A and B are shown apart, each in its own frame.
Chain A
Amino acid sequence: MLRALAALLVLVASLASTRAASAEPVRLWHAYRGAEARALEEIVRTSGIEVELLAVPADAFATKLAAAIPHGEGPDLFIDAHERLGDYLRQGLVAELQVERVGYAPSALRAVEIEGRQLAVPLSQKCVALYVNRALARRVPTDLEDLEAVLVRPLASGEVLLAYESRSAYYHAPFLAAFGGRLLWPDERFGFVGQGAERSLVLARELQRSGKVPGNADGALVTQLFRSGRAAFAVSGPWLAGDLGDAAVQYAVAPLPRVRVTGGRMRPLLTVEAVMASPRGASRPEARALAALLASREAAATRMRIAHVVSARTDVELPDDPVVRGFAEAAREADPMPTSAAMRAVWEPSEKAIRKVLNGSAEPRAALEEAKRRFDDVRRPPPPEASRRPLLVLIGLALLAGALTLVRRSRDASFRAEVVASLPAYRYLIHAVLALGLLVFAPLVAGAAISLTAGRPGETVYVGTANFIDILTARGGPLLATGSFYLVLAVTVAWTVLNVGLHVTIGATLGVLLSRPVLRMRAAYRVLLIVPWAVPSYVTALAWRGMFHRQFGAVTALTTKLRALGVDLEPIDWFARFATAFAANVTTNVWLGFPFMMVVTIAALTSLPREVLEAAEVDGATRWQRFTRIVVPIVRPSMIPSVALGAVWTFNMFNVVFLVSGGEPDGQTDILVSEAYRWAFTRQAQYGYAAAYSVLIFALLFGVTRLGARFGRRAAT
């Protein structure tokens, strides 16, 4: 064994030395797939530089970089979208990468510049453009108002004029630009507010109300409509063209039109894919050479030839592909996406405002002002660094008290004897203690510790209880404003009570029915009714979300069927109002939760002797009296722990809330856990703030269950 280990060490050492001796290849990370990956491989292969290529999944790209580069690992070069440069720069993941500034589109060069420093070399550019269905439109319109005028014939039912993802801020940005607005101003002020923004929303709402634009469209619906020829126009990116490859529809791609009332052009957001260098890569000449080569005219030509992407260079001849030409033209009119980290705080409030206006639950001005408040709230400066002294004193006191107790107890001879006697037992406990400590207590303590800090990753400071104070005072706003801790808590409590009540009622009723010996095929029913429990909850949640879809959901199909039978039911936009969205969540969770209570009831009922029920029957109890006076009191004690467990699960039922309503409308159906998630992962990575939420949830549940246990004991005695 030892010899084998020694041999291994020698082997590793020799490998390391040989590696250091030879020239290391340039490591290049990318997130490309398909044709783009093929184009990159082709360019690298013909470069003559030794390159180690690694494809990293796009959604893990940033975290992998952040995990590798600070430790001297990871790539020398990596290809990513320019809007992440701000984040990367702050975390020290990128270094300046100078190139000759000739031959590039000015917008692409602007995109990779932060504070005058050129941080990356642009490769290609992506933005949305106008897809024109040649079967329905005579020519490419110049104005948005012309869309109808260029139609070949009036649209039939089931056809739409313009398909785009109207509820997305990314797709609304061109409308905003036409009215002179921006989502984010260069000085990091929230831009989606004011008269221009309001007018852009009025326009979008008008388009939807008049039926020219389909409501609630997501990417799949846009693709489906345009692919099947049922949309005269669509706004989408190159990815739509990828989905149209084998479709019959004949189309052209053109820059987005102007809006006649302002004369402004609908300028889409531009994403520039660029090659970036890690600090180590920037210091390696061969890495810089590879970056230059990747951005060269030859490489751009290869990329356009193989992957049909629009190059960031202007000195490359465009291929004879109308789609690429269309996108190249569109890119010239596009605004680079801001690189500021503040941009990430823009999306959530903007989209909430857009949704509220489009579904008619708010006027543009109110919705946008609220969005600005939310943005400012998320972007508010972190609390000032607090003195660590109180915490240290507290920890010191706790340690002191612990030590004193230990000393006092160890003076007790019988206690010492007990400890000595139980020493062998610790040998059997130690692995469980270690595992539990590592898997349960350490994360718990770490979470609690994070709740005392603030700031984004990499620049966190200790702020004491400032996070808790912020949460409990609703950050100085009204205590019951949307998104405040107390309102979310109220929703959570209502959610828990309603769900557990329905779980217990439905589960217990079915349990009682299924334990009646008179029922035929009980076993079959039991299995069928346990199925909702056996399916993973996120699958169930996604299925229900689909069923509640306004246009294509099963629930809507049902209302349509009922309408055919003469029952007048409008299709409901389930997630547009609190009551219906909440009802959809509750329905899903009840479906998920009742089998557990049913199983618990059946188990509890088997412990109920038949003769006791018969004794009650002879004693004169009616069926109802037997249930209320015998069954319920006997079964109750064994069900209370399960109900408590169910309540805790429901209180923290993230899956359903996040996947079914997603907090819609406007975050009103969010519960504490999903709210904590949003603070951590969609609002500027405020981990400290999110951790404080978690600590509060833990404290609430801990307190309530302890109280419940105490009351339970008192009731039992």
Chain B
Amino acid sequence: MASVAVERLTKRFGSNTILDEIALAIPEGAFAVLVGPSGCGKSTLLRVLAGLERPSSGTIRFGERDVTRLEPRERDIAMVFQSYALYPHLTVRDNLAFGLTLRKVPPAEIASRVAEASRMLGLDALLDRMPKALSGGQRQRVAMGRAIVRRPGLFLFDEPLSNLDAALRGQVRVEIRRLHEALGTTSIYVTHDQVEAMTLADVMFVLHRGKVEQSGAPLEIYDRPRSRFVAGFLGSPPMNFLEATLVRDGAAWIADSAGARFTLGAAEFDGLVSGRRVIVGVRPHDVALVDEASGQATVELRFEFAEKLGGETYAHASIGGAPFVVRLEPTVDVRVGEARRLAVEPSRVHLFDAETGLALRC
């Protein structure tokens, strides 16, 4: 088991910079998730950590060891691939045992470790099958088992759930987290799925264009996104964004978006200057429909259509012509074309600079 420290890691292919001065600090035993849209460099970063790619510059340390120049097999890691990469010519048992055989582990030891891993993953009945006779979920479990039997210091997961159907994905996600609780091995997990990232991560790194945009505990990032990109990437449905201008109204600060006025919690923001162009961000979950008479500061919106999911309803609406999604209780009756008023708690309003996209939060 090892902590992971990455410093100023850069990877270029020709003139393309894929990874740009990446820094990671992952404590021992943590489950770290690298998340970002496709093309953000997360998979390349994982391959550099595995040793399958050489970094152009920077250092990688596993615990006290500098592994930057080491071969994959010298790094004491195990990796689960997106396509599972099972050895097609070997049985499940031999797939699991392959790495141990190479390391000349005594056969009795191999047998017991394979038995242990297959028990953990429910592979007992499949041990003598060939990979091509397995379902997608079973292959995925074999790929995990192959990593577990090695008892490495670090697990690397490269989008291991993306080839599974949605139902199975949720199930395996839970299984992965459970395994991590049981084994306690430091893990680095790459995904583009923010739900996976949120649910699995102890520490999360949001990557964007080869850089770490924000890192930290998932909820902290969710609540206090450092940029409009992070705010928009995490959360489903994504945060609503409206262009607005700051206005002072007595003691209060208001963000005015074409007549829709959002009251701000002034203490939470830096750089409130009257007339500044900003982006207002409001999550669909952070709003409530109110009656005209309630006296709260409200915003008018007009419904366009509703997605009724049963447990909740996402109403697609517009505010001053800009799209706006709100989460409603399933009992709320949404009529297309109807105008309603919306109350937003000032502390749940996010503000971003209109040019840089950085949060104004202090």
Contact = CB atoms under 8 A, between A and B. Distances in A.
B352 to A, nearest CB: 39
B98 interface: yes
Contact of A611 (B85, B98, B146): B85
A612 B85 contact: yes
Interface stretch (B9-17, B70-78, B275-283, B339-347): B70-78
B141 interface: no
Contacts of A150: none
A621 B52 contact: no
Contacts of B103: 620
B73 A618 contact: yes
A618 B88 contact: no
B102 A620 contact: yes
Contacts of A633: 89
A47 interface: no
Contact of A621 (B73, B81, B86): B73
A621 B73 CA distance: 7
Nearest to A611: B85
A620 B99 CA distance: 6
A485 B82 CA distance: 59
Contact of B73 (A609, A611, A612, A617): A617
B255 interface: no
A615 B77 CA distance: 11
A53 interface: no
A622 interface: yes
A609 B98 CA distance: 17
Contacts of B102: 619-621, 625
Interface in A40-61: none
B73 A620 contact: yes
Contact of A615 (B51, B71, B85, B89): B85
A630 interface: yes
A612 B83 CA distance: 9
Task: Give the interface centre of A611, A625, A630 by most chain B CB atoms within 10 Å.
Answer: A611
Interface in B50-88: 50-52, 71-73, 77-79, 81-83, 85-88
A609 B146 contact: no
A618 B89 contact: no
A622 B87 CA distance: 16
A316 interface: no
B150 interface: yes
Contacts of B71: 617
Interface in A501-526: none
Given A618-B72, A619-B99, A621-B102, A612 B87 contact: yes
A633 B95 CA distance: 14
Nearest to A620: B73
B268 to A, nearest CB: 46
B87 A630 contact: yes
Nearest to B80: A615
Nearest to A636: B89
Nearest to B78: A618
A633 B79 CA distance: 22
Interface in B95-144: 98-99, 102-103
Interface in A583-641: 609, 611-612, 614-622, 625, 629-630, 633-634
Contacts of A617: 51-52, 71-73
Interface string B145-181: 0100010000000000000000000000000000000
B73 A622 contact: yes
Contacts of B79: 614-615, 618
Contacts of A622: 73
Contacts of A625: 102
A65 B89 CA distance: 63
A609 B71 CA distance: 20
Contacts of A614: 50, 52, 72, 79, 81, 85
A193 to B, nearest CB: 64
A205 to B, nearest CB: 62
Given A620-B99, A620-B103, A630-B87, A615 B81 contact: yes
Contacts of B78: 618-619
Given A621-B102, A625-B102, A616 B83 contact: no
B6 to A, nearest CB: 18
A619 B150 CA distance: 8
Contacts of B50: 614, 618
A632 B73 CA distance: 21
A199 to B, nearest CB: 70
A620 B72 CA distance: 7
Given A616-B98, A618-B73, A611 B81 contact: yes
A609 B85 contact: yes
B73 A615 contact: no
Nearest to B81: A611
A606 to B, nearest CB: 15
B88 A612 contact: yes
Nearest to B76: A620
Contact of A634 (B52, B81, B88): B88
Contacts of B83: 609, 611
Nearest to A635: B89
A352 B324 CA distance: 99
Nearest to B150: A619
Contacts of B72: 614, 617-618, 620
A618 B87 contact: no
A680 B34 CA distance: 77
Nearest to B152: A618
A717 to B, nearest CB: 11
B87 A616 contact: yes
Contacts of B86: 612, 615
B53 to A, nearest CB: 10
B145 to A, nearest CB: 12
A614 B51 CA distance: 10
A619 B52 CA distance: 12
A301 B229 CA distance: 109
A614 B143 CA distance: 13
Contacts of B89: 633-634
Contacts of B51: 617-618
Contacts of A634: 87-89
A271 B256 CA distance: 119
Contacts of B150: 619
A620 B74 CA distance: 8
Contacts of A616: 87, 98
Nearest to A617: B72
Contacts of A629: 98
A625 B103 CA distance: 12
A620 B78 CA distance: 9
A614 B84 CA distance: 11
Contacts of B82: 611
Would you list the 6 A-B pairs with minimal beta carbon distance, nearest first?
A619-B99, A611-B85, A615-B85, A620-B73, A633-B89, A620-B102
10 contacts: A609-B83, A614-B79, A614-B85, A615-B79, A616-B87, A617-B71, A618-B72, A619-B102, A620-B73, A633-B89
Interface of B: 50-52, 71-73, 77-79, 81-83, 85-89, 98-99, 102-103, 146, 150
Given A617-B51, A622-B73, A634-B89, 18 more contacts: A609-B83, A609-B85, A611-B82, A612-B86, A614-B50, A614-B52, A614-B72, A614-B79, A614-B85, A615-B81, A617-B73, A618-B50, A618-B51, A618-B52, A618-B73, A621-B73, A629-B98, A634-B88
